[in-house]
Amino acid sequence: MNVELLERVRDHLPPRLNAGILAADGGFCILGWMLVSAGFHTIALYNNTISVTHPSLGGPAIDVVARTYGMPLALVQELAEINDATETARRRDAVRAKLDEIIVAASAPETG
């Protein structure tokens, strides 16, 4: 998992996150923010709820985030669900808490 990129996402979260849309006039959902933080141009995300329009890297947003960050698909889905299910006033804090949890787990030394 790309912990450095995840830390960048967490440390620079916008003041407000949207629910259910990658990017719009009001800002980004967490998946859109993760993709912009990874270097995707916002035009590839603008006003799209489910996919990234890029000739070679595009596809369903969940899949693109999972590939880009080296994350399990189920974990990306969980992060998106937290984003969408949390009321606006608490959304940023809930997403940040989940990102903290993911980063700690990914940074832990493997035992074996």
Claim: this prediction has a pTM higher than 0.85: yes
Q: How far apart are CA 45 and CA 101, in angstroms?
A: 26
Closest residue by Cα to residue 88 from 1, 11, 20, 8: 20
Encode burial over 1-25: b for 16+ CB neighbours within 10 A, e otherwise.
eeeebbeebbeebeeebbeebbbbe
Would you write out the chain's pLDDT as a tens digit for each of its 112 residues? 999 999 999 999 999 999 988 887 778 899 989 999 998 877 777 777 788 777 788 888 899 999 999 999 999 999 999 999 999 999 999 999 999 999 999 998 875 5
